[in-house]
Structure 1
């Protein structure tokens, strides 16, 4: 099945912690391959694991997570999309965090829906489809 959803970092953390229940329930209804994570999200999660006092345990949990949510590489078209989004947001005086900007560009370039609990940032991006399962 082709991917439909690009899962943001906060939703990945909710899935790992198995709370809130609404996120886990929605996640369990997905068909294999229907959701992926961006390589940017993978980087954010890996960074958090490296800083953790339980580094090895958290890294093992991340490896388990990517068996369920494959890491999608950044398509070349995301670079152009990034530039267009960033310019548009800066022109409106509404910039968003750099990693969120890359995740948004990745989703738009790949035609995916971003699933996040950080709607405030992502809803600023023109034309980006956003869902919140929390």
Structure 2
């Protein structure tokens, strides 16, 4: 199975906050893991505004040498638009970056790994897993 890592799962791994996430990422084949350029933008923003900028950027650089970054493209943009419109029609509000990452996972046929399963489960056609739970 191939996976797209949500921003919060990347933070979990980089911070060591959830040992179960670390175990799953280390056990996965590198070719099975991807991170969206949208998540990378969020991670760079977080590192930039942190107290330990240089250390956090360096950790992120190492991580991105191990996990392939996929660019948000037209197919991802189309999936994002469909998902956002469908959720808004139901009155559901989801953060725009989360929806872009969801659209990206759908467009690539990947399972989204997130700690925010509840919010993402509302998006049709999106497969979601939570690796925080052992």
Do both share a fold (TM > 0.5)? yes
Displacement of 1:22 = 1.0
Q: TM-score, normalised by structure 2?
A: 0.94
Conservation of the 8 A alpha-carbon contact between 1:75 and 1:109 = no
| Aligned-partner Cα distance in 1 for 2:30–2:50 | 29
Gaps of 5+ in 2: none
* 1:120 matched residue in structure 2: 118
Deviation per CA, 1:8-61: give whole Å up to 9, x if none: 111111111223111111111101211010000000000001101111111111
- Decide which of 50, 55, 59 is 2:48's aligned counterpart: 50
- Residues paired across the two proteins, number: 132
* Structure 1 outlier segments of 4+, above 6 Å: none
Q: TM-score, normalised by structure 1?
A: 0.94
| Aligned-partner Cα distance in 2 for 1:10–1:50 | 16
* 1:96 matched residue in structure 2: 94
* 1:60 matched residue in structure 2: 58
User: Secondary structure, in 3 states, of the residue corresponding to 2:31?
Assistant: coil
Gaps of 5+ in 1: none
- RMSD of aligned residue pairs (Cα, Å): 1.1
Displacement of 1:70 = 1.6
